Structure 1
Amino acid sequence: MTDVSFHDYATLGATERSALLARSETDLSSFLERVAPIIEAVRTEGDAALARFGQEFDKAALSPDRLKVSEAEFEAAFDAVDGAVVESIRFGIDNIRRFHEEQKPEPMWLKEIRPGAYAGDRFTPIRSVALYVPRGKGSFPSVTMMTSVPAMVAGVPELSIVTPPAPDGGVDAATLVAARLAGVDTVYKVGGAQAVAAVAYGTETVRPALKIVGPGSPFVVAAKRALAGVIDTGLPAGPSEVVILADDTVHGGLAALDLLIEAEHGPDSSAYLVTHSRRVAEEALAALPEHWARMSPQRADFSRAVLCGRHGGIVLTRSVEESYDFVNAYAPEHLELLSQEPFLHLGHITEAAEILMGTHTPVSIANFALGPNAVLPTSRWARSFGPLSVTDFVKRSSIGYVTAPAYPEFAGHARRLAEYEGFSSHALAVSELRDTYLKPRG
Structure 2
Amino acid sequence: MQVTFKVLADLTPAERSDLTRRSEADLSFFLERVGPIIEAVKTEGDAALARFGRDFDKAAGLRPDDLKATEADFDAAFTQVAPEVIAAIRFGIENIRSFHEEQSPEAMWLKEVRPGAFAGDRFTPISSVALYVPRGKGAFPSVTMMTSVPAVVAGVPDLAIFTPPGPDGKVDAATLVAARLAGVSTVYKAGGAQAVAAAAYGTETVKRARKIVGPGSPWVVAAKRLLSSVIDPGLPAGPSECVILADDTVHGGLAALDLLIEAEHGPDSSAWLVTSSRRVAEEALAALPEHWSRMGAQRVEFSQKVLGGRSGGIILARDMADACAFVNEYAPEHLEILSEKPFEYLGDITEAAEILMGTHTPVSIANFALGPNAVLPTSAGASTYGPLSVTDFVRRSSIGYVTPKGYAPLAEAAHTLARYEGFDNHANAVSEIRTRYLK
TM-score by length of 1: 0.99
The DSSP-based 3-state class of the residue aligned with 2:401 is strand
> Could you tell me how far 1:406 is from its partner in structure 2?
1.3
**Partner AA of 1:85 in structure 2:** V
CA distance in structure 1 between the partners assigned to 2:129 and 2:254 by the alignment: 39
> Could you tell me how far 1:114 is from its partner in structure 2?
0.5
Q: Which residue in the other structure is 2:87 paired with? A: 87
CA distance in structure 1 between the partners assigned to 2:156 and 2:381 by the alignment: 25
Q: Which residue in the other structure is 2:42 paired with? A: 43
Give me the identity figure in percent.
Answer: 75
Q: Which residue in the other structure is 2:154 paired with? A: 154
CA distance in structure 2 between the partners assigned to 1:100 and 1:328 by the alignment: 26
> Could you tell me how far 1:79 is from its partner in structure 2?
0.4
> Could you tell me how far 1:47 is from its partner in structure 2?
0.4
The DSSP-based 3-state class of the residue aligned with 2:228 is coil
Q: Which residue in the other structure is 1:408 paired with? A: 408
> Could you tell me how far 1:355 is from its partner in structure 2?
0.3
**Partner AA of 1:24 in structure 2:** S
Q: Which residue in the other structure is 1:360 paired with? A: 360
Q: Which residue in the other structure is 2:179 paired with? A: 179
Q: Which residue in the other structure is 1:59 paired with? A: 58
CA distance in structure 1 between the partners assigned to 2:342 and 2:324 by the alignment: 13
Q: Which residue in the other structure is 1:104 paired with? A: 104
CA distance in structure 2 between the partners assigned to 1:8 and 1:400 by the alignment: 56
Per-residue CA distance 1:154-194 (angstroms, 9 max, x = gap):
00000000000001100100000000000000000000000
Per-residue CA distance 1:203-225 (angstroms, 9 max, x = gap):
00000001000000000000000
382-391 or 5-14, larger mean C-alpha shift = 5-14
Q: Which residue in the other structure is 2:431 paired with? A: 431
> Could you tell me how far 1:100 is from its partner in structure 2?
0.3
> Could you tell me how far 1:425 is from its partner in structure 2?
1.2
> Could you tell me how far 1:18 is from its partner in structure 2?
1.1
Gaps of 5+ in 2: none
Q: Which residue in the other structure is 1:132 paired with? A: 132
**Partner AA of 2:31 in structure 1:** L
CA distance in structure 2 between the partners assigned to 1:175 and 1:19 by the alignment: 37
Instruction: Summarize the alignment of residues 224-373 of structure 1 with structure 2, pairs less than 5 Å apart.
Output: 224-373=224-373
**Partner AA of 1:12 in structure 2:** L
Q: Which residue in the other structure is 2:70 paired with? A: 70
**Partner AA of 1:114 in structure 2:** R
**Partner AA of 1:387 in structure 2:** P
TM-score by length of 2: 0.99
For the pair 1:377 / 2:377, whether they are aligned, the reply is yes
Per-residue CA distance 1:283-319 (angstroms, 9 max, x = gap):
0000001100110000010000000001000000111
**Partner AA of 1:424 in structure 2:** D
The DSSP-based 3-state class of the residue aligned with 1:59 is coil
Instruction: Summarize the alignment of residues 16-35 of structure 1 with structure 2, pairs less than 5 Å apart.
Output: 16-35=15-34
The DSSP-based 3-state class of the residue aligned with 1:39 is helix
Gaps of 5+ in 1: none
CA distance in structure 2 between the partners assigned to 1:406 and 1:150 by the alignment: 39
**Partner AA of 1:6 in structure 2:** F
CA distance in structure 1 between the partners assigned to 2:406 and 2:111 by the alignment: 14
The DSSP-based 3-state class of the residue aligned with 1:118 is strand
Per-residue CA distance 1:11-59 (angstroms, 9 max, x = gap):
1111211110000000111111110000011111100100010011001
> Could you tell me how far 1:124 is from its partner in structure 2?
0.4
The DSSP-based 3-state class of the residue aligned with 1:406 is helix
The DSSP-based 3-state class of the residue aligned with 2:335 is strand
CA distance in structure 1 between the partners assigned to 2:397 and 2:18 by the alignment: 42
The DSSP-based 3-state class of the residue aligned with 1:418 is helix
**Partner AA of 1:421 in structure 2:** E
Extract structure 1 runs of 4+ deviating beyond 2 A: none
CA distance in structure 2 between the partners assigned to 1:39 and 1:290 by the alignment: 45
> Could you tell me how far 1:136 is from its partner in structure 2?
0.3
> Could you tell me how far 1:438 is from its partner in structure 2?
1.3
Instruction: Summarize the alignment of residues 187-202 of structure 1 with structure 2, pairs less than 5 Å apart.
Output: 187-202=187-202
Q: Which residue in the other structure is 1:420 paired with? A: 420
Per-residue CA distance 1:214-273 (angstroms, 9 max, x = gap):
000000000000000000111000000000000000000000000000000000000000
> Could you tell me how far 1:437 is from its partner in structure 2?
1.4
CA distance in structure 1 between the partners assigned to 2:324 and 2:406 by the alignment: 52
**Partner AA of 2:35 in structure 1:** A
CA distance in structure 2 between the partners assigned to 1:120 and 1:143 by the alignment: 34
CA distance in structure 2 between the partners assigned to 1:207 and 1:184 by the alignment: 14
Q: Which residue in the other structure is 1:170 paired with? A: 170
CA distance in structure 2 between the partners assigned to 1:245 and 1:18 by the alignment: 18
**Partner AA of 1:429 in structure 2:** A
> Could you tell me how far 1:349 is from its partner in structure 2?
0.3
